[in-house]
Amino acid sequence: MTEELQNLLDMYIDKFLDQEVVKKYLALEKELDTNEEIISLKNQLKEVKNKMLHCSQEEYQELSKQYQKVKTEIENHPLVNNYNLLQEEVAQMIKHLEKTLKQEK
């Protein structure tokens, strides 16, 4: 990689990271990693999943319902919803950035 290309790439990265949506996304990602409610729900999900591996058929049906309930709680949590929306926006920005960089070559 030439120095000019590296400088151009660094400039795009800096501009990308300076975008408000990217800043919000990264902050929300950190918040999800430390949010007690989300952590608790994820732990519940893991616990139910582990129980599902070592249970009878009757227990499996009930555990499957519990698993879906907790999974839905996580998916419908406002922080997770916001994160998913921002993730889509950031992914679109990355695709655009990739196209731009390919044109710059």
Domain segments of the chain as ranges: 3-104
So what's the pLDDT on residue 105? 60
Give residue-wise pLDDT tens across range 32-85.
999 999 999 999 999 999 999 999 998 999 999 999 999 999 999 999 999 999
d(CA 9, CA 12): 5
Q: Does position 1 have pLDDT exceeding 70, yes or no?
A: no
So what's the pLDDT on residue 104? 64
Give residue-wise pLDDT tens across range 82-101.
999 999 999 999 998 888 77
Fold topology of 3-104? YheA-like fold (1.20.1500)
Do residues 66 and 47 touch, judged by C-beta distance below 8 A? no
d(CA 15, CA 32): 25
